[in-house]
Structure 1
Amino acid sequence: MRILLVEDDESIAEPLMDGLGRYGIRSRHVATGAAALAAPLDDFVLLDLGLPDIDGIDVCRELRRASDVPIIMLTARGDESDRVLGLEIGADDYVAKPFSTRELVARMRAISRRTTPRPHRELGPLVIDERARQAVLNGEVLPLTPKEYQLLALLAADPGAVVDRRRILETVWEPNFFGRGKTLDFHVATLRRKLGDPRWIENRRGVGFRLVVP
């Protein structure tokens, strides 16, 4: 694994890179937000929020617009609102300073397990083929649009779990999506028709949707 470490404090960056190296993790280090946005993205980004040029929250937002690379925020800030905002705009986790390298590596591995695509996901008669980006139901390929496939794949990633509307919009469409309010409902309706049974997608009014096998 290779990571991009965005940290302006050398007293933190150097021992952290050494510690990660003992776990076989190679690090590329930059000290500013501008350098982070210009750097090639590796397998992971460790992002300090207190950068000298650009706020780490804004760096996180820009990185997420450009890539789905996993991001862990490193923060000494005690304000819960900063951490919540970072998670809402696309960070996968946050670690409060000071932290142990062992805990950080464990969190990175947990995120990697969740975000690494599985070639096939089977849910009864429904098969999600992530490499081919298609869904097969009862042996027949469903004629899904790209957005319909992304919506179905997101719900299928954790069957039975309710995915809230905002997360769906920001994942399938884009962060801070401000399109028509009925966009999501329209896509859910068309996806239900193509699945042939509305019970596949359950609506939790005012919260979100979940995928269940009828």
Structure 2
Amino acid sequence: MNQLTVLVADDDPNVCEIIRLFFTENNYRVVEANSGSEAIKLYESSNPDVILLDIMMPDMDGYEVCRQIRKKTDVPIIMLSAKGEEIDRILGLEIGADDYVTKPFSPREIIARIKAIFRRVPVKTGNEGANGNDIHDFKDFSIHVKSRQVLVNDEKLFLRPKEFDLLLYLVQNSNAVLTREQLLEHVWGFDFGGDIRTVDVHIKRIRSEFAKYDIHCIHTVWGVGYQFKD
């Protein structure tokens, strides 16, 4: 993997120092912000590949920073917080975060989370779209694998990277009922240590985008998981 730029937004200088030292040793470029407003300015000037975002910061909390950045980009965001309640993790995921790490944490764990986020779902052979394994055509929309786009009436559906990966894996296994554990394993990877509810949050966002066009293709199989049916 080429050198990645990581934006660390945390008002605790000790946390920033630990992350900077460990990440620099592992060939990451690190830029630091100590407040919410500074994080937004640094995002615009440094163009980071991933953001580590503390929730409790002066002048603007991490949730609001995440909301504002999500209006501009789908750059991966990992929330950092001393809060460990499920509602806090779900809220972070609901507003667009890709992952959530509770303090205290190991910098090695965060690097593993980053690698999991950037891992892409392999395209299976034998279950391809109409044009090899590049396009999956359906009645109301099409999935373009190489360009990572979903088109509805020539309009591009807004999906974040992991949402696209999740939809693609469901499509590659059309009509099969997949458990949350299976989806976590194949889309997020074996070393993903996040909450299993991550799947539910991403499914909800995909459905929300499709619902704008009255498309309902991802079905819940209660007590089991999810199923894609055109």
Check whether TM > 0.5: yes
Out of 95, 98, 111, the residue aligned to residue 101 of structure 2 is: 95
The aligned residue for residue 212 of structure 2 is 183
The answer as to 2:68 corresponding to 1:62 is yes
Query: CA distance change for structure 1 residues 37 and 149 in 2, over 3 Å: closer, same or farther?
Result: closer
Q: 1:122 and 1:18 mapped to 2: Cα distance?
A: 42
The answer as to 2:61 corresponding to 1:32 is no
Q: 2:148 and 2:116 mapped to 1: Cα distance?
A: 24
Query: CA distance change for structure 1 residues 210 and 75 in 2, over 3 Å: closer, same or farther?
Result: same
Percent of aligned positions that are identical: 37
The answer as to 2:163 corresponding to 1:155 is no
Give the gaps of 5 or more residues in structure 1. 136-141, 174-181, 189-200
Letter in 2 for 1:167: R
The answer as to 2:226 corresponding to 1:166 is no
The aligned residue for residue 82 of structure 2 is 76
The aligned residue for residue 197 of structure 1 is none
Q: Secondary structure at the match of 2:52?
A: strand
The aligned residue for residue 228 of structure 2 is 211
Letter in 2 for 1:10: P
Query: CA distance change for structure 1 residues 183 and 149 in 2, over 3 Å: closer, same or farther?
Result: closer
Looking at CA atoms only, which structure, 1 or 2, has the larger radius of gyration? Answer: 1
Letter in 1 for 2:91: L
Letter in 1 for 2:26: Y
Query: CA distance change for structure 1 residues 106 and 31 in 2, over 3 Å: closer, same or farther?
Result: same
Q: 2:112 and 2:219 mapped to 1: Cα distance?
A: 34
Offset of 1:79 from its aligned partner?
Answer: 3.1
Give TM-score scaled by structure 2 length. Answer: 0.64
The aligned residue for residue 113 of structure 1 is 119
The aligned residue for residue 192 of structure 2 is none
Letter in 2 for 1:37: I
The aligned residue for residue 51 of structure 2 is 45
- Root-mean-square deviation (CA), in Å? 3.6
Q: Secondary structure at the match of 1:91?
A: coil
Question: Mapping of 1:126-141 within 5 angstroms?
Answer: 126=129, 127-128=134-135, 129-132=144-147
The aligned residue for residue 138 of structure 1 is none
Are the equivalent residues in 2 in contact too, given 1:148–1:187 (CA < 8 A)?
no
Q: What is the number of equivalent residue pairs in this alignment?
A: 182
List per-residue Cα deviations over 1:69-122 (Å, max 9, x = no partner). 0010111123332221001111111111111111111111011114xx87x776
Give the gaps of 5 or more residues in structure 2. 136-143, 180-198
The aligned residue for residue 18 of structure 2 is 15
Letter in 1 for 2:155: P
Q: Secondary structure at the match of 2:119?
A: helix
